[in-house]
């Protein structure tokens, strides 16, 4: 924190701050503060079945927000079957005129104390190379790199993928393949499928119909579902397509198969590759090379970090069982 100016006051964000917060995010992150962004923010932080996102603001001398920090509530479950109250460290912004004053750190440390008092067990996120050092100085520790695996559609598609070393577009490309996630989750088949999933191999998202309906339910993100048959209980996958430079990327976010059935998993991976009509499909985890044609990308992938607040767990990659839908930025 710079010593030539006093630290700004911090308080919990209030509904009346919404317009100012959206303008702050636009000024700091380049987002467009239009109706779509407003709806996106509301879906992400207000409609989450795990609860509204706790958020804080730093104020200038006139009481206007100049810094914003929020955490996305996320329900985890351990191998013991017990739930964990967790949050993902997500959106944060400091007004350009006030950067360099340590406001990000001030807001984050303030939030950690209140989250701990509220009974939150764990904070996790996948910060980029620029912001990760700041988290590490505040008590976060690196868990490890989550290895991405890709399935190129062809040699030409592989070349396009290699050349497209730019961030993916925020909004997904529309697709009519498969079904909507809402259609997947309607009826008893979805409940039967979720009840039949294999126990997690580590800390994992506590999957429920409510969670999946929210997580993949915002229309402009165009998530799609592929099933193995008419009954979702046989197995399902959730995915979306985005442009990444000249390449068309299909993000395989969820693979839901009864009892961890390897044949069902293989069939779903191939079905998504067919339905998405993308240059490549990307997912997290799995063998270095599998029968569905996925291969590991060496030296790449998001770096998972965590900050225990209650139970000190999740220190190694072996302690986690996460897919792309659990860490994907949205």
Closest by alpha carbon to 271, among 243, 247, 230, 236? 236
Q: How far is CA 239 from the centre of its chain?
A: 13
Which class would CATH give 148-301?
alpha beta
In sequence order, the β-bridge partners of residue 303 are: 145
Strands (DSSP E) contained in the chain are: 10-12, 55-59, 65-77, 83-94, 122-125, 141-145, 148-152, 179-180, 204-205, 224-227, 236-244, 247-256, 280-284, 295-296, 303-308
pLDDT at 292: 86
pTM summary value: 0.94
Two tokens, residue 5: 């100016």
Distance CA 83, CA 75 (A): 7
Distance CA 246, CA 166 (A): 10
Residues 6+ apart with CB under 8 A from 99: none
Distance CA 8, CA 218 (A): 35
Pairing of strands 65-77, 55-59: antiparallel
Pairing of strands 280-284, 148-152: antiparallel
pLDDT at 329: 85
pLDDT tens-digit profile, the chain (330 residues)? 445 678 899 999 999 999 999 999 998 877 787 899 999 999 999 999 999 999 999 999 999 999 999 999 999 999 999 999 999 999 999 999 999 999 999 999 999 999 999 999 999 999 999 999 999 999 999 999 999 999 999 999 999 999 998 988 889 999 999 999 999 999 899 999 999 999 999 999 999 999 999 999 999 999 999 999 899 999 999 999 999 999 999 999 999 999 989 999 999 999 999 999 999 999 998 777 788 899 998 889 999 999 999 989 999 999 999 999 999 988
DSSP 199-257: PPSSBEE---HHHHHHHT--GGG--EEEESSSSGGG-EEEEEEEEETTEEEEEEEEEE-
pLDDT at 299: 86
Neighbours of 159 (CB within 10 A): 14
> What are the boundaries of each domain within the chain?
10-145, 148-301
Q: What share of the chain is helix, strand, coil (3-state, %, to 5)?
A: 35, 30, 40
Query: Are 10-145 and 148-301 equal in CATH topology?
Result: yes
Longest Cα separation, the chain: 66
Which class would CATH give 10-145?
alpha beta
pLDDT at 33: 78
């Amino acid at each position: 924190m710079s010593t030539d100016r006093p630290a700004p006051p911090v308080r919990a964000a209030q509904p009346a701050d919404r317009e100012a917060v959206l303008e702050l995010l636009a000024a700091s992150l380049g987002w467009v503060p239009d109706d779509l962004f407003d709806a996106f923010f509301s879906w992400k932080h207000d409609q989450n079945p795990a609860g509204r996102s706790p958020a804080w603001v730093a104020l200038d001398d006139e009481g206007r927000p100049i810094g914003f920090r929020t955490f996305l509530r996320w329900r985890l479950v351990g191998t013991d079957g017990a739930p964990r109250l967790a949050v993902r460290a997500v959106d944060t912004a400091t007004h350009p005129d006030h950067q360099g004053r340590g406001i990000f750190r001030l807001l984050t440390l303030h939030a950690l104390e209140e989250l701990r008092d509220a009974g939150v067990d764990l904070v996790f996120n996948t910060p980029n190379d620029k912001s990760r050092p700041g988290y590490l100085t505040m008590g976060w520790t690196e868990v490890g790199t989550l290895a991405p695996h890709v399935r190129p559609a062809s040699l030409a598609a592989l070349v396009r993928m290699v050349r497209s070393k730019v961030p993916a577009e925020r909004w997904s490309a529309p697709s009519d393949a498969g079904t909507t996630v809402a259609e997947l989750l309607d009826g008893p088949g979805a409940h039967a499928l979720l009840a039949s999933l294999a126990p997690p191999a580590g800390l994992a998202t506590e999957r429920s119909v409510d969670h999946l309906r929210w997580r993949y339910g915002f229309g402009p993100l165009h998530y799609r579902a592929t099933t193995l048959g008419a009954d979702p209980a046989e197995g399902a996958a959730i995915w979306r397509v985005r442009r990444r430079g000249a390449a068309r990327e299909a993000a395989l976010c969820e693979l839901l198969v009864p009892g961890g059935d390897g044949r069902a998993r293989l069939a779903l991976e191939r079905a998504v590759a067919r339905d998405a009509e993308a240059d490549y499909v990307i997912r997290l985890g799995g063998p270095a090379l599998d029968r569905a044609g996925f291969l590991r990308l060496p030296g790449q992938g998001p770096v998972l970090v965590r900050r225990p607040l209650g139970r000190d767990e999740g220190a190694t990659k072996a302690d986690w069982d996460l897919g792309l839908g659990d860490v994907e930025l949205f």
